[in-house]
């Protein structure tokens, strides 16, 4: 009895005075239109020693996907963990004829959840889901236009780019014989760029975080390497355009594709004036932008080390979506689901897990539940993603027996509706276009360039039936309001009926 009492006292005393699990410090390095295939750690063409070092210490999610190949809706999904039909943010904001101005302030997302959990929250750089968004969600350290622009401003309309492209068709060039709507050599040096200002602000944020007696959640969000690809020397001349290897889908004619892919939704989608030399120079400037990105990452990581923050720091590096640089004769982004746009880089450095490579498909929408779990944040509603913590701990085997799928949507593009839904497996990709009568099916193993649309190929009838059922299941899981329409279309898809003629 005496020993039982002593044991109870010991249990009570240790539980009463036990320190709660320490909340991690988290730094998110976020990039704009950054493809998955360029870094040297992925055997890409650009030497990226700083990102490679981070990759060596991280869980590399090598089959990561964005939710939407468009900035605002993908960012809203990242911070909330919810699809646009739930948050109301399914289009770009403040651009051209978009109907959107902001993500609803009621959608607090990771920023508010962290601030409400006594985190020191910092946000630097591009937000693009409504001016002053981090501020109204409780961030304490804010730099760049995230907090300085007015609420609900007049939309940006690219009149100057229209005039420039008219000139390109007339044989005109910009300074240095370049096409500045697509690529440009900037004056000055790396430290004169807008991107470097974000590095400086990011360093300020880390210094401020190191002075806190609370955990911090910080985001440094760069506009690089978003097109047009504009970099100073030495990055502009770092890669010889003639040495660039072009993929098999480079400037290939789009045969038997949905008509939406032909639509000029932004001035620089009009690429009929682009010669092969222009595409090569655009790619060379993009590679230079990635080399500059690597230098920026290196400076921020070194600052974290100098401040004593690095050893137990959780670091997430990702892009919001990819980008087209001549593949399928497309530039930038649009209402399609090609891998060059759909796939993103994603690294998660978790000091408490062993670095590894995960090949299971994951999504940007999985980061909110993942960070919510690791940072011990309160829930703020349902989430459509899943936590990646099991994959971090156990690798691919953590999801053995689970269908390996990724869902993708492209609802709007600057006021134009498409409603696209795509379901990707490691072997196949199916893309449903509710506003067209031509869908897409690709065999990713035989045709990674997605050149041949197999939607009416009878040899793929069973595979089509399976992947369309997977899409139906995913749409039901996330309460997609288009599910009813999709189910009505399924019969004609599976019967491979002829396209309607009017």
Write down the pLDDT at residue 77: 98
Could you say which DSSP state residue 156 is in? B
Secondary structure (DSSP) of 174-200:
-GGG--TTTEEEESS-GGGSHHHHHHH
Q: Is the predicted pLDDT of residue 150 greater than 90, yes or no?
A: no
The 10s digit of each residue's pLDDT in 8-17 is 444 443 333 3
The backbone torsions φ and ψ at residue 206, rounded to the nearest 5 degrees and listed phi first, read -65, -40
Q: What is the mean pLDDT of the chain?
A: 93
Using DSSP's 3-state secondary structure scheme, residue 407 falls into: strand
Structure tokens at 483: 């599910």
Q: Which residues, at least 6 apart from 389, have a Cβ–Cβ distance to it below 8 Å?
A: 370, 373, 374
What pTM did the predictor assign? Answer: 0.94
Residue closest to 329 by CA, chosen among 293, 365, 282: 282
β 141-143/406-413 pair status: unpaired
- State yes or no: pLDDT of 186 exceeds 90: yes
Computed on alpha carbons and rounded to an integer, the radius of gyration of the chain in Å comes to 24
Cα three-residue angle 316-320-322, rounded to 5 degrees: 120
The pLDDT tens digits for 434-482 are 999 999 999 999 999 999 999 999 999 999 999 999 999 999 999 999 9
Give the range among 93-97, 187-191, 196-200, 211-215 with minimum mean pLDDT. 93-97
What is the structure's pLDDT at 138?
96
CA distances from 89 to 130, 150, 412, 423, 479 (A): 10, 19, 10, 21, 16
Residue 4's pLDDT is 43
Measured CA to CA, the distance from residue 237 to residue 216 in angstroms comes to: 38
Q: What are the backbone angles phi and psi of residue 96, rounded to the nearest 5°?
A: 50, -120
Please compute, for residue 241, the number of CA atoms within 13 A of its CA located in the half-sphere on the CB side. 15
Q: Are 91 and 102 in contact (CB under 8 A)?
A: no
Per DSSP, 388 falls in state -
Strand 25-31 relative to strand 141-143: parallel, antiparallel, unpaired?
Answer: unpaired
The Cα angle at residue 83 between residues 79 and 86, in degrees rounded to 5: 105
What angle in degrees, to the nearest 10, is found between the helix axes of 71-80 and 109-116? 30
Residue that wins the pLDDT comparison between 165 and 150 = 165
Beta strands of 361-466 (E only): which ranges?
362-363, 406-413, 416-424, 428-432, 440-443
Q: What is the distance between the alpha carbons of residues 286 and 282, in angstroms, rounded to a whole number?
A: 6
162-178 pLDDT, tens digit per residue, is: 999 999 999 999 999 99
Buried residues in 392-431 as b, exposed as e (16+ CB within 10 A) = beebeeebeeeebbbbbbbbbbbebebbbbbbbbeebbbb
* Tens of pLDDT, residues 302-335: 999 999 999 999 999 999 999 999 999 999 999 9
**Can you tell me the distance from the alpha carbon of 193 to that of 197, in angstroms, rounded to the nearest whole number?**
7
Residues 208, 18: contact at Cβ < 8 Å?
no
Average of per-residue pLDDT across 365-380: 97
Q: Distance between CA atoms of 18 and 317, rounded to whole angstroms? A: 34
Share of the chain above pLDDT 70, in %: 94
- The residues, ordered by sequence, that sit 6+ positions from 181 with a Cβ below 8 Å of its Cβ are 161, 164, 165, 168, 228, 267, 268
Q: pLDDT (tens digit, 9 = 90+) per residue, 103-140?
A: 999 999 999 999 999 999 999 999 999 989 999 999 99
Residue position matching structure tokens 């003639």 = 242
Angstrom distances, CA of residue 393 to CA of 21, 65, 202, 351, 424? 18, 20, 29, 11, 24
- What pLDDT score was predicted for residue 3? 41
Residue 20: pLDDT above 60?
Answer: no
């Amino acid at each position: 009895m005496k020993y039982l009492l002593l044991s109870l006292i010991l249990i009570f005393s240790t539980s009463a005075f036990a320190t709660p699990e320490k909340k991690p410090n988290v730094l998110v390095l976020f990039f704009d239109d950054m493809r998955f295939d360029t870094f040297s750690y992925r055997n890409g063409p650009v030497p990226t020693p700083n990102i490679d070092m981070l990759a060596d210490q991280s869980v590399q999610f090598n089959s990561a996907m964005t939710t939407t190949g468009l900035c605002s809706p993908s960012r809203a999904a990242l911070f909330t963990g919810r699809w646009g039909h739930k948050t109301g943010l399914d289009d770009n904001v403040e651009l051209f004829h978009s109907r959107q101005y902001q993500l609803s302030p009621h959608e607090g997302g990771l920023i508010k959840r962290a601030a409400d959990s006594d985190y020191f929250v910092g946000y630097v750089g591009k937000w693009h889901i409504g001016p002053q968004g981090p501020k109204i969600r409780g961030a304490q350290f804010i730099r760049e236009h995230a907090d300085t622009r007015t609420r609900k401003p007049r939309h940006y309309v690219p009149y100057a780019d229209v005039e420039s492209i008219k000139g390109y068709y007339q044989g005109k060039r910009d300074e240095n014989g370049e096409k500045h709507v697509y690529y440009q050599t900037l004056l000055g040096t790396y430290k004169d760029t807008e991107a470097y200002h974000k590095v400086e602000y990011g360093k300020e944020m880390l210094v401020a975080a190191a002075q806190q007696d609370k955990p911090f959640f910080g985001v440094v969000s760069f506009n690089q390497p978003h097109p047009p690809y504009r970099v100073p020397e030495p990055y502009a001349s770092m890669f010889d355009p003639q040495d660039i290897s072009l993929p098999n889908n480079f400037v290939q004619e789009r045969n038997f594709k949905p008509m939406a892919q032909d639509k000029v939704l932004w001035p620089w989608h009009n690429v009929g004036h682009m010669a092969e030399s222009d595409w090569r120079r655009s790619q060379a400037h993009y590679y230079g932008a990635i080399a500059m990105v690597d230098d920026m990452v290196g400076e921020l990581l070194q600052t974290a080390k100098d401040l004593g923050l690095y050893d137990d720091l959780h670091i997430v590096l990702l892009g919001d979506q990819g980008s087209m640089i001549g593949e399928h004769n497309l530039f930038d982004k649009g209402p399609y689901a090609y891998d060059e746009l759909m796939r993103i880089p994603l690294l998660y450095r978790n000091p408490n897990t062993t670095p590894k490579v995960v090949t299971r498909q994951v999504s940007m929408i999985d980061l909110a539940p993942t960070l919510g779990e690791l940072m011990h944040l309160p829930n703020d509603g349902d989430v459509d993603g899943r936590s990646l913590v099991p994959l971090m701990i156990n690798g691919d085997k953590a999801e053995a027996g689970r269908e390996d799928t990724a869902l993708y949507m492209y609802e709007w593009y600057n006021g134009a509706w498409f409603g696209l839904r795509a379901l990707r497996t490691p072997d196949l990709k199916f893309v449903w276009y509710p506003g067209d009568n031509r869908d897409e099916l690709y065999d990713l193993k035989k045709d990674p360039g997605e050149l041949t649309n197999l939607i009416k190929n009878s040899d793929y009838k069973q595979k089509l039936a399976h992947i369309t059922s997977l899409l139906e299941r995913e749409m039901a899981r996330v309460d997609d309001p288009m599910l009813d329409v999709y189910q009505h279309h399924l019969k004609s898809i599976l019967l491979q009926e002829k396209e309607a003629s009017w």
